[in-house]
Amino acid sequence: MYLYRFEVIDVEKTTPVIVIAKDDQQAFEQVDIELEKYFLALPDYEEIVLFEKKRIGNGSGYVLPAFSK
């Protein structure tokens, strides 16, 4: 399993989305699902960028730095 950090970019802002998935295809599908659950109306985003991919396992941790645009 992997921890994925995506950035969903629209004209107003960049929204980070974190998902856990077994492969890249499942991760991108999960981003769409999470966006649908979070927003009442889906934003008109320009792109979804895979920013980071890390293997997860027992005893692992990661620092996710904040970025401002």
Tens of pLDDT, residues 13-52: 888 999 999 999 999 999 999 999 998 887 788 999 998 9
User: What's residue 57's pLDDT?
Assistant: 86
**Would residue 62 count as lying in a domain?**
no
**Would residue 33 count as lying in a domain?**
yes
CA distances in angstroms from 57 to 27, 33, 60, 66, listed in the order given: 17, 24, 6, 23
**Three-class SS state of 18:** strand
Per the structure, the count of domains in the chain is: 1
**Would residue 61 count as lying in a domain?**
no
CA distance 42 to 63: 28
Q: Is the pLDDT of residue 68 over 60?
A: no
Read off the pTM.
0.81
Amino acid letter, residue 35: L
User: What's residue 29's pLDDT?
Assistant: 96
**Would residue 36 count as lying in a domain?**
yes
Q: How confident is the model at residue 11 (pLDDT cuts 50, 70, 90)?
A: confident
